[in-house]
Amino acid sequence: MNDLNHAHPHLESDSGQMSNQSIVKDAVKRAFIKLHPKTMAKNPIMFIVEMGFLITILLSVFPQFFGSTANPWFNPAVSVILLLTVLFANFAEALAEGRGKAQADSLKQTKKGVWANKVTGDGKTKKASSDELRKGDVVIVSQGEMIPGDGEVISGLASVDESAITGESAPVIKEPGGDFSSVTGGTRVVSDSIKVKITSDPGETFLDQMIALVEGAERQKTPNEIALNTVLTSLTIIFLIVVATLPFFTDYLGFHIDPAVLIALLVCLIPTTIGGLLSAIGIAGMDRVTRFNVLAMSGKAVEAAGDINTIILDKTGTITFGNRMASEFVPAGQETLQTVGEYAALCSIHDETPEGRSIIELAKKQSIPFDASAAEDGECIEFKAETRMSGINLPDGTAIRKGAVDAVKKWVIQNGGTVPPDFDRESERISKEGGTPLAVAAGDQLYGLIYLKDTVKPGMRERFEKLRKMGIKTIMCTGDNPLTAATIAKEAGVDDFIAESKPKDKIDVIKREQAEGKLVAMTGDGTNDAPALAQADVGLAMNSGTTAAKEAANMVDLDSDPTKIIEVVSIGKQLLMTRGALTTFSIANDIAKYFAIIPAMFMTAIPQMASLNIMGLASPMSAILSALIFNALIIPLLVPLAIRGVAYKPMNSNALLARNLLMYGLGGVLVPFIGIKLIDMIMQIMV
């Protein structure tokens, strides 16, 4: 599995962006700006901490007015610590936003100064800014010019450099029709000229969406984040009620608790750690997706990827390389390897497809002689879907054909020939081994078969095994016959397959899995994939694909790598796991704070409470300040983990839960005991 912290070369031109001084300086500045109550109110937990800071400021200035009897230095000390707590939380969010802003700035450079040759109603062209273009406008883009907006090629053929968007240096051929007609604004034509029909208005292009996404502005909270925020807010309200009613009980018992101590107790009780990091985790999660060069239409899609149960994958180009290559000549009946190879090569002279070229290469590799000049003077028979054959008619009248086994057999029989007894057996063997058999015939005689093989990409079995450990089922869709499909499925290690698959079959299998309560992901690039991409919970469209596919999906892979769905799932799981791990840690580390601050509050009036001071803290005031200082410092200490994400290893949910409880649950209990004690010792040394 690829390193999920890997940053795409285009999106992260500077190494170690997190330590970039300008980003850190800007984050510090924004941390103070975010102190505005209107901004803080969006985070109820930290808003309460800020209100506590304001109250302790008043206690510092007017202690007697509020009935404060604490040492003169105590209230100011609590104020400073609470202010730092809020600033650290704001800094975490601002730093996550700053990383996205740095990416957005580089992307905005791609948009600047783009002019277009817009086609007018009379067929002429005029210069127009990309901001003036609207959906339906037609522009002509020639060599060296920037494509002004997202669109579809409607005429012409050109090589397009998409490195500004994808980071890949190799140009991509764009042509009208098919799955490679879509172009993205901000890319450059490096050869020839194309006519493009604009498919998006200004502000709605993929580049605009990516800029908005990575900036973090107007980021919509995901359902899981909203649910967790609701739980944390509810806990905060409960603790607020507890602390507010506490003075009534202490007055009844005959002793008084200073207001600053009550505020310190409240801040230590409420889940300030996760409250301060929750927004940063969400922003950083989206940041990791964009750094992986995937444009997610919403945070919901990323989180859904983390909960995926089933992945639908195309065979060709995803699991296999996609180009069937000749690997063997198989003679039939009494024929020899020489004759099969010769006729196969002769009828491939005019075949410019990868498989046609591979047949010529195999004949040369096996030193099989053939008269290329005779074929060059012959009549080329192009492949047609109706005949499912191609070939050549030589000048001497010999007709040679290669193609689908049943089609060539029928052609031979129509010419008065017969089928050798071992022909069908060899054809079935090739299919069972995952290959594609092509029959070779001349006139009324079947000479044998060409063994075409589509190779499974290296490491696919290991990848699918990791997905299986995550509890994710993989289903391969292919147009191959059942025998070939079964062999490839076994070699690749997928859990299930659909042979002779049609677009409707993909939708049916998605609906079937969803009916069982499962979340489904799939990849696609063609218009025929659009319905299934829309039906899937996570649809990953290829940037090189059609506009219909990209509009139907909720994610677009700018690198057009179909296997990236596997990494997207891991990114989603990492996001969910990071949030869960830090929530566990936050709630767990409150335990140590209770043992620090509660005995400190009550041991003066109730000496028996001193037995709960298991950390042996020096004094009640020292215990309260140590707990508050730890509560503040733990936020910036966890910022790198929140932004980088918790390391994810594929395993089943039970093992993952046990691992996180041990690491972040037990760790969250132990670390504060050590931290608070160390702070207390340092305070005693300083005093």
Q: Are strands 379-381 and 389-393 parallel, antiparallel or unpaired?
A: antiparallel
Give CATH 2.70.150.10 domain extents, the chain: 134-201
Q: Give the pLDDT of residue 106.
A: 59
List, in order, residues 6 or more apart from 318 with CB less than 8 Å away.
523, 562, 563
CA–CA gap between residue 319 and residue 93 (Å, rounded)? 39
pTM over 0.85: no
Residue ranges, comma separated, of all CATH 3.40.1110.10 domains in the chain are: 322-455
Q: Residues comprising the binding site?
A: 351, 355, 383-390, 402, 525, 529
> What residue has token string 């936003």?
97
Identify the residue whose tokens are 């200490």: 637
Give the model confidence (pLDDT) of 329-386 as tens digits. 999 988 899 999 999 999 988 887 778 888 999 999 999 988 888 788 888 888 887 7
Distances (CA, A) of 174 to 154, 422, 540: 10, 45, 20
Residue 239's alpha-carbon distances to 117, 233, 502, in angstroms, are 64, 10, 58
* Secondary structure (H, E, C), 83-117: HHHHHHHHHHHHHHHHHHHHHHHHHHHHHCCCEEE
pLDDT at position 167 = 52
Determine the pLDDT at residue 79: 94
- pLDDT for 371: 82
Longest Cα–Cα distance in the chain: 118
Q: Which residue numbers in the chain have pLDDT < 70?
A: 1-20, 66-68, 70, 99-113, 163-170, 178-179, 206-222, 298, 317, 322-323, 544, 604, 651-653, 687
**295 forms bridges with which residues in the sheet?**
556
- Which residues contact residue 55 at a Cβ distance below 8 angstroms, ignoring those fewer than 6 apart? 259, 263
Q: Which long-range contacts (CB under 8 A, 24 or more apart) does 529-534 make?
A: 529/503, 531/503, 531/507, 532/312, 532/503, 532/506, 532/507
Please report, for residues 77, 87, 438, the alpha-carbon distance to residue 61 in angstroms, rounded to integers and kept in the order given: 13, 22, 91
Contact at 8 Å (CB) between 116 and 148?
yes
- The CATH superfamily assigned to 310-319+457-558 is HAD superfamily/HAD-like (3.40.50.1000)
CATH of 322-455, one of 3.30.70.940, 3.90.1300.10, 3.40.1110.10, 3.40.50.10540: 3.40.1110.10
- Give start-end residues of each CATH 3.40.50.1000 domain in the chain: 310-319+457-558
Closest CA to 646 of 589, 588, 565, 571: 571
Q: How far is CA 254 from CA 247, 251, 655, in A?
A: 10, 5, 51
The CATH architecture that domain 134-201 belongs to is Distorted Sandwich (2.70)
Q: What percent of the chain has a predicted confidence (pLDDT) above 70?
A: 88
- pLDDT at position 649 is 74
Question: Sheet harboring 520-524: ordered strands across?
Answer: 294-296, 555-557, 538-542, 520-524, 310-314, 473-477, 496-498
The pLDDT of residue 219 is 53
Is 548 in contact with 530 (CB distance < 8 Å)?
Answer: yes
What's the pLDDT at 9?
Answer: 38
Give the whole-angstrom CA distance, residue 686 versus residue 93: 32
Q: Are 615 and 680 in contact (CB under 8 A)?
A: yes
Q: What is the pLDDT of residue 181?
A: 79
Which segments are annotated as binding site for ATP? 351, 355, 383-390, 402
Which two three-digit tokens encode residue 522?
A: 């799939």
Residues designated catalytic: 314
- Short-list 495, 499, 449, CA closest to 479: 499
The CA distance from 553 to 605, in Å, is 65
